[in-house]
Copies of this chain bind each other. A is one copy, B any other.
């Protein structure tokens, strides 16, 4: 029989999770293109200067700046062309007095030269080129390391890799990076009334919704969800599938099956499977009262309510912060402040999560509480997030500002 029969506040539930379970943060090395959207597990510094050498900024002529001083349209300076420097090649001959090298954009500056005259300010003539505009030392040259210095941090630890980071790392020659591994989350639906979508619905049955909304929620957070389908309320079936999911995942989510009738079956099974077993059996909040938390074989099992919106809210409160931690994204969730469209009466003595639909008007953001029956698919389609009413608060007034926790989809 479960040793934790009393309902506990959510803070105590979270405390017990961390008392009995430690999130295992894992890392993996991925190629640059597969790093998109993943989180850096370590800072990445530039192993080289960018650019790696002094480069021509434009097509033109590499010159010794002093040879061009005083040049203009009416009084051009003539220089000898001693060769051509192309991007990707190395021009080794030194540029001497009154000499120059034809150069393409991006080509390394030849030795001896210290500036580029743009092709527009020159005129090729018999045996050389006329410079029509003087340049100062360094002009039109992109200096070695001027963009990024060797050793400079390109991506900080816990930063998400986007296209820009990818570009910067490519420029520095970095082709693989270490990222947080995606925590594996197994999803099981329980309940005799459930059927998997795609099958022919039998009398009295309904299709499993939570598996799919939880799959999406886990994926959105950067986790790696895996569906185990639904199992009926049979002891053997449940323990077999939970056993398998525990082996293959870091966290296992159960949903449904905690309603009054079968209330004790799942906790009993979990307790029989290992130590410490069930550590939370019910939370003093609405919805989410039948929430179940167990630790087995160092893996975490969380039993969520059956109603889709309720399941998503409890998932967001209990599971999302764990996945965020394991993916290096930190514990912070996505919040927005909004004013309530209508007065809302909460239950006395219980924490309440109220699903809302957001509306942005010229006057600010408004939150409309959704029907309390969170079983409706129609309301699932409209819910943007929820706000929390603490235990000791009973009324939220119309126009009062609340902090809405966004589902993020």
Contact = CB atoms under 8 A, between A and B. Distances in A.
Nearest to A163: B216
B201 A167 contact: no
**Majority SS at the chain A contact face:** loop
Contacts of A377: 50, 147-148, 167-168, 171-172
Given A89-B204, A373-B57, A261 B104 contact: yes
Interface string A144-171: 0001100000000000001111111111
A246 B248 CA distance: 41
B167 A227 contact: no
A213 interface: yes
A245 B106 CA distance: 27
Interface string A365-379: 000000001011110
Interface of A: 32-33, 36, 48, 50-53, 55, 57, 59, 86-90, 104-108, 119, 142, 147-148, 162-176, 191-199, 201, 203-209, 211-213, 215-217, 219-220, 225, 227, 232, 259-261, 306, 308, 373, 375-378, 380-381, 383, 407, 409
Contacts of A165: 381
Given A59-B259, A87-B259, 4 more contacts: A52-B206, A108-B204, A147-B375, A169-B197
B164 A409 contact: yes
A96 B106 CA distance: 91
B147 A378 contact: yes
A209 B170 CA distance: 5
Contact of A197 (B173, B196, B208): B173
Contacts of A166: 212-213, 215-216
Contacts of A173: 195, 197-199, 201, 207
